[in-house]
C-alpha cells in the first residue's frame, strides 16, 4: 500500500501537544497557580470586627499596596536581609573557590583515584540539608562535640561556634560543605569538554600546569562559573533549613534570622498570611532582579570580550 504524498497519519499533528499536556498541567498546578494565589493574598487583608469571635467577625478586604508598604518598612525583614548578605559574602566566594580548585585538581593527569575523589567531594550534596544541619549542630555543641573534647584534653580553648560572630561561620560551613560538590561537578564537566589539543599545544609552547589553569582552563569555563554563581546567589537568598534546624541549639538565632524565616513566622505562627505573601513576593522580585541584572552584566561582558 502506498500513502498519498503530503498527507500525515491521523493524530501526528496533535501528538506533540499531547506530550506537552502533563508538563503544562504540572506547571499550572504547582507553579503558576501558587504564584497567582500568593499575589492575590498579598493585596488583601483580614478585617476583624469586635473581638473577632463568631460568624462573620472576620472577613477579607482589599488592602492595595498596604502589605507591601508594611513589609518594606519592617525592621525585622530588613535586618534579616542584611544578615543574609553577610552570610552570602562568606558562602559564595569560598564555595565557588573550592569548587574551582577541586575541579582543576581532578582535571590533572597525575591525579590518582579520580573517580573516588570526585564521588567523595560530591557526596555531601546528596545529604539533605536538615540532616546536615543536625550533624554539624552536634559537632558544634561544646558539651557533646568530639572536637571540643579533644581541644579540652589538649588544653586549648573551646570556641562556641553557635554564639555571636562565629555563628555566621558555622552556618556558612554547612552551606559550603554541602554545595561545593555540586558546583565542582558543573565546572569539572566543562573542563572535560575542552579539546585536549589545546592543552597539548600549550605544553609544546612551554606552559606549566599553573599557566594552563590560569590562562586557558579558567577563562574557558567562565560560563560555568557564571552559572554556579547564579545558583549560589539564589540558594543564599533562600536559606531556611539550616538556621531553622540549629535554632533550638542556640539563643543567637532568632525566629526571623533570615527573610524566609520571617515569612514562615508571619504565615504559620502569627497567622498573618497576607503579610507573609507580600514579603514572599518582594523576596521573589528581589531575587529575580538580582539574577537578571547579573546575567545581563555577564552577557554584556562576554559580548565585549568576543568583539575584541
Is residue 187 included in any domain, yes or no? yes
Spatial neighbors of 139 by CB under 8 A, at least 6 apart, are 145, 146, 147
CATH number at residue 86: 1.10.3720.10
pLDDT band at 288 (very low <50, low <70, confident <90, very high): confident
How many domains is the chain partitioned into structurally? Answer: 1
Helix axes 273-307, 33-42, angle to 10 degrees: 120
Is residue 304 included in any domain, yes or no? no
Owning domain of residue 151: 74-252
- Alpha-carbon torsion (217, 219, 224, 228), positive or negative: positive
For residue range 139-154, list pLDDT tens digits in order.
Answer: 888 888 888 888 888 8
pLDDT of residue 68: 93
Is residue 196 included in any domain, yes or no? yes
Quickly list H helices, 107-221.
114-122, 129-140, 146-153, 166-192, 196-204, 209-212, 218-220
For residue range 12-40, list pLDDT tens digits in order.
Answer: 677 888 888 999 999 999 989 999 999 99
The predicted model scores a pTM of: 0.83
Helices H / strands E in the chain, number of each: 15, 2
pLDDT of residue 16: 82
**Which of the two residues, 16 and 177, has the higher pLDDT score?**
177
For residue range 183-210, list pLDDT tens digits in order.
Answer: 999 999 999 998 889 888 988 888 888 8
Is residue 38 included in any domain, yes or no? no
For residue range 31-73, list pLDDT tens digits in order.
Answer: 899 999 999 999 998 877 666 566 666 777 888 899 999 999 9
**Which of the two residues, 303 and 284, has the higher pLDDT score?**
284
pLDDT of residue 10: 52
pLDDT of residue 89: 93
Is residue 65 included in any domain, yes or no? no
Is residue 68 included in any domain, yes or no? no
Is residue 200 included in any domain, yes or no? yes
pLDDT, averaged across the chain: 86
For residue range 229-260, list pLDDT tens digits in order.
Answer: 988 988 898 899 999 999 988 888 889 999 99
**Which of the two residues, 228 and 13, has the higher pLDDT score?**
228
Q: How many CA atoms lie within 13 A of 117 on its CB side?
A: 14
End-to-end CA distance of the chain: 60
Is residue 131 included in any domain, yes or no? yes
Amino acid at each position: 500500500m502506498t500513502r498519498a504524498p503530503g498527507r500525515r497519519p491521523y493524530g501526528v499533528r496533535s501528538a506533540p501537544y499531547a506530550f506537552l499536556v502533563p508538563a503544562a498541567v504540572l506547571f499550572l498546578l504547582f507553579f503558576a497557580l501558587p504564584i497567582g494565589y500568593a499575589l492575590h493574598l498579598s493585596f488583601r487583608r483580614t478585617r476583624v470586627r469586635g473581638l473577632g469571635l463568631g460568624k462573620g467577625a472576620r472577613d477579607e478586604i482589599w488592602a492595595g499596596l498596604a502589605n507591601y508598604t508594611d513589609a518594606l518598612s519592617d525592621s525585622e525583614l530588613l535586618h534579616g536581609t542584611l544578615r543574609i548578605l553577610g552570610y552570602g559574602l562568606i558562602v559564595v566566594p569560598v564555595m565557588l573557590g573550592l569548587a574551582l580548585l577541586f575541579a582543576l585538581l581532578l582535571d590533572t593527569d597525575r591525579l590518582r583515584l579520580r573517580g573516588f575523589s570526585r564521588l567523595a567531594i560530591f557526596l555531601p550534596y546528596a545529604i539533605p540539608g536538615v540532616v546536615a544541619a543536625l550533624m554539624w549542630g552536634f559537632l558544634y555543641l561544646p558539651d557533646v562535640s568530639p572536637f571540643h573534647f579533644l581541644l579540652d584534653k589538649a588544653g586549648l580553648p573551646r570556641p562556641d561556634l553557635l554564639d555571636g560572630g562565629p555563628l555566621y561561620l558555622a552556618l556558612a560551613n554547612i552551606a559550603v560543605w554541602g554545595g561545593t560538590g555540586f558546583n565542582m561537578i558543573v565546572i569539572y564537566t566543562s573542563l572535560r569538554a575542552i579539546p585536549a589539543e589545546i592543552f597539548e599545544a600549550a605544553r609544546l609552547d612551554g606552559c606549566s600546569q599553573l599557566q594552563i589553569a590560569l590562562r586557558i582552563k579558567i577563562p574557558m569555563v567562565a560560563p560555568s562559573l557564571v552559572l554556579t554563581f547564579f545558583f549560589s546567589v539564589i540558594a543564599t537568598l533562600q536559606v531556611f533549613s539550616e538556621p531553622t534546624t540549629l535554632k533550638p541549639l542556640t539563643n543567637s538565632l532568632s525566629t526571623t534570622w533570615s527573610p524566609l524565616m520571617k515569612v514562615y513566622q508571619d504565615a504559620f505562627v502569627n497567622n498573618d498570611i497576607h503579610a507573609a505573601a507580600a514579603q514572599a513576593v518582594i523576596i521573589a522580585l528581589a531575587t529575580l532582579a538580582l539574577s537578571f541584572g547579573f546575567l545581563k552584566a555577564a552577557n554584556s561582558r562576554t559580548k565585549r570580550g568576543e568583539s575584541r
